[in-house]
Amino acid sequence: MYNEIDLDRIDLTQEAPAQEPVRQYYFMAKCRKWVQEFETKNKRRPTACIQTFGCQMNERDSEKMRGILENIGYELTKTEEADFVLYNTCTVRENANLKVYGHLGYLSGLKKKNPQMVIALCGCMMQEPDVAEKIRTSYRYVDLVFGTHNIFKFAELLVTALESDRMVMDLWKDTDKIVEDLPAERTYPFKSGVNIMFGCNNFCSYCIVPYVRGRERSRKPEDIIREIEGLVADGVVEVMLLGQNVNSYGKNLEEPVSFAQLLQMVEQINGLKRIRFMTSHPKDLSDDLIAVMKDSKKICRHLHLPLQSGSTEILKKMNRRYTKEQYLALAAKIREAMPDISITTDIIVGFPGEREEDFQETLDVVRKVRYDSAFTFIYSKRTGTPAAAMENQVPGDVVKDRFNRLLALVQEISKEQSEKVQGQVLPVLVEQQNEQDDSLVTGRLSNNLLVHFPGNKEMIGTIVDVHLKECKGFYYLGESMIQ
């Protein structure tokens, strides 16, 4: 839709429409008028910088807001010395909040030099009432604050901030709204994240996400397919389907559609080469999904399956709703169906009440599943979650020792897993020129392993057959089969 709308033809003498998304196009046009006046006065376009903290959901949200800024005429930059700076925040861990406060302190000095500067905050961190109050009282030079539920209103909120001489706060507790057809400026021209759902209903006891992202709501499959078709027409060859738990997709639709069924629909899109998705909760990963993945020509041979702990007792405290035995049976079923699949995971060490025998259960799962890689975390209290109030918090020195032992085992197995494809010729999606050596390009295998091989920037965005000559532990050095 946004490709068909000419912002310069929108009549700003009329009242703003009530219906979305045309209401936001009205405010985009209003922003564009402000940008044009700024350019006339200052002999340059205003600059804008978005910094993203956190997950791929946040990355995708930032792409949407960058798209709006670009459409209204801002010049996008990576430096915080800009006329408009937006931090899209994460709040999964307390130190993520501290990082944002540190950045805000830096912006205070910049704003003194450039009083016209507009500072905005959005994302998960802003959904915490204590944080919002701290921003309101201690960071009064911030101009705009909004959360996760009303990102679609970005243009409207920006207009309000530009026209106001005080802080604008627009924070929603929850929402059932999903607004389609707004612009996005992709980080990569050849691949893109695609939201298939928002929110989370799982309420793991250590996790703040359901409180700041709201309850699950799924997009209609026809809207998802239409978006992906548009992306493919614009040069995208790989999509990443995004949700806090993609296995729950479709349960709240008027006509329920399972995630496995959605994947089959996406598979039919002509021109699309690769399909990825995350995150997949073990409690409801279906046999149908395994069957669809097994038979697919496009779904990548990579599954992120968070374990968190190998102890059934700790899993119960975490409210994960599966046992160690159930997880192992599921992993074995996946490996049997797809022997070449890469399974990656998340593991938390030092959850309240974790004993050495619980930790040994985790190591046992790692040995049996043989993860291709794992994101390992030391448990940290997250204010606002049930786990933060639990007794038997594990001493720091004990946690650090366990973490180091886990990391050593994970790295040993990951290296062995990576070496299994050495000598093979496999397709690689080229993503960029190598950052250390511009005679090389870097890309990913279907199983998500990185590969570096001689090439040029013309290869970026294409899928190339590569001979995997030497495994370096967590990546390969290869040679293109193109003569």
- Consecutive 10-residue averages of pLDDT for the chain (483 residues): 73 93 95 96 96 90 95 96 96 83 94 94 93 95 95 96 94 86 90 94 91 91 96 97 95 93 98 96 96 97 97 98 98 97 97 97 98 94 88 94 97 95 96 92 96 95 97 92 75
The DSSP secondary-structure symbol of 304 reads E
Each residue of 72-124: pLDDT tens digit? 999 999 999 999 999 999 988 777 888 999 999 999 999 999 999 999 999 99
Question: b/e per residue, 74-83, with b = 16+ CB within 10 A?
Answer: beeeeeeebb
Chain-centre distance for alpha carbon 382: 20
Residue with tokens 């995208």: 236
* Predicted local distance difference test score (pLDDT) of residue 381: 84
What is the rounded distance in angstroms from the CA atom of residue 378 to the CA atom of residue 94? 13
Residues 6+ apart with CB under 8 A from 115: none
Count CA atoms within 13 Å of residue 482 on its CB side: 13
The answer to whether the beta carbons of residues 84 and 72 sit under 8 Å apart is: no
Distance between alpha carbon 243 and the CA centroid of its chain, in Å? 9
Extended strands (E) in 141-261 = 144-146, 168-170, 191-195, 197-198, 217-218, 238-242
Paired tokens of 126: 């802003």
How many beta carbons lie within 10 A of that of residue 433, not counting itself?
A: 17
Q: What pLDDT was estimated at residue 373?
A: 95
Q: What is the pLDDT of residues 403-431, one digit of tens each?
A: 999 999 999 999 999 999 999 999 999 99
pLDDT for residue 482: 79
Question: How far is Cα 74 from Cα 464, in angstroms, rounded to an integer?
Answer: 36
Q: Where are the beta strands (DSSP E) in 313-462?
A: 342-349, 373-378, 425-433, 440-444, 450-454
What amino acid is encoded at 186 in this protein? R
From 24, 1, 26, 33, select the one nearest 11 (Cα to Cα): 26
What are the φ/ψ torsions at residue 47 (nearest 5 degrees)? -100, 155
Contact 212, 385 (CB under 8 A): no
Predicted pLDDT at 481: 86
- 297: closest CA among 271, 275, 265? 275
What distance in Å separates the CA atoms of residue 24 and residue 20, rounded to the nearest whole number? 7
**What pTM did the predictor assign?**
0.89
Rounded to whole angstroms, how far apart are CA atoms 2 and 158? Answer: 18
AA letter at 312: T
Angle at 192 between CA 410 and CA 415, to 5 degrees: 15
Predicted pLDDT of residue 96: 81
Cross-strand pairs, 197: 218
